[in-house]
Structure 1
Amino acid sequence: MKGVLLVNLGSPDSPTPKDVKPYLDEFLMDERVIDAPKWLRTLIVRGIILRTRPKKSAEAYSKIWWEEGSPLIVISERFKQAVEAQADIPVALGMRYGSGSIAEGMEQLQKQGVDEVLLVPLYPHYAMSSFETVVVKALEVREAQFPDMQVTTMPAFGKNPDYLNVLATSIREKLDAFGYDHVLFSYHGIPERHIRKSDPTSYHCKINDTCCGMNSVAHHTCYRHQCYEMTRNIAALLNLPKDQVSTSFQSRLAGDPWLKPYTDYEFERLAGEGRSRLAVITPAFVSDCLETLEEIAMEGKNDFLEAGGTDFMHIPCLNDREDWVTLMAKWVNDWARDGRLPAV
């Protein structure tokens, strides 16, 4: 029997340092997030970061926490329930970090008689620290706890034409009412070395526009290329003028070169150039979370206005929009019927 496991990032159980600390520990100790040797990763995470970061992160989570709980968890559960209502097979939800784990999701499916699972990492793009770590963890869990369960992974879907149309529609609805003079596509940032490590050719990725514009098998796992390609595709669908669109990357850690340009620098640059009405899209995420609701919609807005901008709009993620739910349910049912996966 077939079933589906949707997997998102995860969240602390509450916006308190007590609950944020173990969540951050699990997240940052992932070798695909901080890809240093374990002894060094342990020193960085447990010897430095976890001494101060939980309190600061808890304060940030407190700003966005909903009465029902973590926005990412609440939205993911709503999405799962909506997809399940249209799907022909059982649907479960798991989180890569924190409560509601991948193992719990697989166990729920197993109890319903499922022995063939479609794994759906809820990330539009491929990156070591998002898509890849979900797949690796899911396969480890299956090997250790569910050896008779077959797992098929849905590929990163950021280039799928139907997905791009749904995303463009959600953006258009907000832009039409805003009167923007610039649209910033802000993606989750990753270290530059992750791009090189994900390059199957070991030589293609130079992390510049030249290599991203060339045809290469490396693009299947190149996060930078996929982000710039998404900006280009969405801008074309929306007929956005080239001089009113740019791409940036947020949420970096100090000490290493991360993908550029940095979003906070872009806020200052755009305001300094006289762009007064800024719309910001965060298309690396399908669900609003700390990075979209606090870092962009709150802190980013303050940064832009303090730099001289006058109006700022964060365009929400797809969350549990009906057209996004319907598309995911279609992908699920296509796979359940004949094993077909979405075109990418």
Structure 2
Amino acid sequence: MKGVLLVNLGSPDSPEPKDVKRYLGEFLMDERVIDVPLWARTLLVKGIILNTRPKASAKAYKKIWWDEGSPLIVLSERLKDKIQNQIDLPVALAMRYGSMTIKKGLQELVDKGVNEVFLMPLYPQYAMATTETILVLAEEIRKASFPNITIHDLKPFYNDSNYIKVLSNSIARHLDNKDYEHLLFSYHGVPERHIRKSDITKSHCKPNDKINCVCCKTPSKAHEFCYKHQCKEVTRLVAEALNLKEGTYSTSFQSRLGFDPWLQPYTDRTIERLGKEGTKKMAIVTPAFVSDCLETLEEIAMEGEEIFHEMGGQDFTTVPCLNDNQEFVDLLSNWIKQWALTETVEA
């Protein structure tokens, strides 16, 4: 029997410091998030970050927390429920970090008789700290606890024509009748070294080429795992779909941590620059996320708008993530139906 497991990032159980600290500890101790030796990661995370950051992060979570709970969890559950209403297979939801574990999600499906799972990481682009960490952990759990099931995974869908159509339609709908001068595509940042590590050719990607990005534009097998290329490709394809004029849109990266170089240009500095240069009306979309969360609701919609206004900007419009957008639900449901029609693979 086949079943589906949707996997998103995760969230603390509450916006209280103790729960935020527990969540951050699990998240930041992941070797694919902070990819340094264990001793260094332990010193950085447990010795410094977890002693300083939880209170500030908890304060930020409290700003965006809903009565129903974490926005990311609530929106992911709505998405799951809508998909379940459109397909006959069991659908479960799990998070990479937090109490809604991948093991619990797999157990829920196994209890319903599922022995073949379609694992769907809810990330359009591939990255070590998102898709890869989900797939690696899911396989470890399968081997240890569910050796009789088979797992298939949804590949990154950043350049899928139907996804681009859904994303473009969502942006156009939310910006309809909005007067803006510049549309910023802001993606979650990753350290530059992640791009080099993900380069299967070991020679193509040059993340420090911040101006021309020749490697992102040059065809290569490396693009299959290159987060930077995939983000820029989403921007390019959406710009084409929306007939955006050159110079009226750009790409940036947010949420950097520590002192190592991360993908640039940085979102906060880009917003600051646009304001200083005289842009009065801007809009921003966050295509690395399918569900609104702390990074979109607080970092962008609150902090980003504050920066823009401080630099002289006036109108700051944020485009919501796809969330439980019906077109997005239909797209994911169709992919599931197509997978379900494939021959069953023996476990």
TM-score, structure 2 normalization? 0.97
Partner residue, 1:262: 266
Query: In 1, distance between residues paired with 2:3 and 2:36?
Result: 36
TM-score, structure 1 normalization? 0.98
Query: In 2, distance between residues paired with 1:321 and 1:212?
Result: 30
Q: Per-residue displacement from partner, 1:246-293 (whole Å, max 9, x unpaired)?
A: 000000012100000000100111111111111000000000000000
Contact 1:7 1:95 in 2 (8 A): yes
Partner residue, 2:239: 235
Runs of 4 or more above 3 Å deviation: none
Partner residue, 2:305: 301
Secondary structure at 1:185 match in 2: strand
Contact 1:88 1:333 in 2 (8 A): no
Q: Per-residue displacement from partner, 1:30-68 (whole Å, max 9, x unpaired)?
A: 000000000110000000000011100000000000000
Task: Using the TM superposition, give the Cα deviation of residue 175 of structure 1 relative to its aligned residue in structure 2, in angstroms.
Answer: 1.6
Q: Is residue 105 of structure 2 the alignment partner of residue 100 of structure 1?
A: no
Query: In 1, distance between residues paired with 2:313 and 2:332?
Result: 37
Q: How does 1:161-310 map to 2 (within 5 A)?
A: 161-207=161-207, 208=209, 209-310=213-314
Contact 1:201 1:218 in 2 (8 A): yes
Partner residue, 1:6: 6
Q: Per-residue displacement from partner, 1:148-179 (whole Å, max 9, x unpaired)?
A: 01000110111110011000000001122211
Query: In 2, distance between residues paired with 1:304 and 1:135?
Result: 38
Query: In 2, distance between residues paired with 1:238 and 1:52?
Result: 43
Contact 2:158 2:233 in 1 (8 A): no
Secondary structure at 1:86 match in 2: coil
Aligned length: 340
Secondary structure at 2:123 match in 1: coil
Q: Per-residue displacement from partner, 1:187-239 (whole Å, max 9, x unpaired)?
A: 00000000000000111111231111111000000000000110000010001
Task: Using the TM superposition, give the Cα deviation of residue 338 of structure 1 relative to its aligned residue in structure 2, in angstroms.
Answer: 2.1
Secondary structure at 1:316 match in 2: coil
Contact 2:3 2:116 in 1 (8 A): yes
Identical aligned pairs, as a percentage? 60
Query: In 1, distance between residues paired with 2:154 and 2:223?
Result: 17
Query: In 1, distance between residues paired with 2:66 and 2:343?
Result: 38
Task: Using the TM superposition, give the Cα deviation of residue 339 of structure 1 relative to its aligned residue in structure 2, in angstroms.
Answer: 5.8
Partner residue, 2:340: 336
Q: Per-residue displacement from partner, 1:108-163 (whole Å, max 9, x unpaired)?
A: 00011000000100000000001110111111111111000100011011111001
Contact 1:8 1:122 in 2 (8 A): yes
Task: Using the TM superposition, give the Cα deviation of residue 71 of structure 1 relative to its aligned residue in structure 2, in angstroms.
Answer: 0.1
Query: In 1, distance between residues paired with 2:343 and 2:51?
Result: 48
C-alpha root-mean-square deviation of aligned residues, in Å? 0.9
Secondary structure at 1:284 match in 2: coil
Contact 1:88 1:336 in 2 (8 A): no
Query: In 2, distance between residues paired with 1:21 and 1:145?
Result: 28
List runs of 5+ in structure 1 lacking aligned partners: none
Query: In 2, distance between residues paired with 1:41 and 1:127?
Result: 19
Query: In 1, distance between residues paired with 2:136 and 2:312?
Result: 45
Query: In 2, distance between residues paired with 1:13 and 1:216?
Result: 42
Q: Is residue 22 of structure 2 the alignment partner of residue 22 of structure 1?
A: yes
Q: Give the residue type in structure 1 aligned to 2:310.
A: E
Query: In 2, distance between residues paired with 1:268 and 1:299?
Result: 11
Query: In 1, distance between residues paired with 2:231 and 2:330?
Result: 24
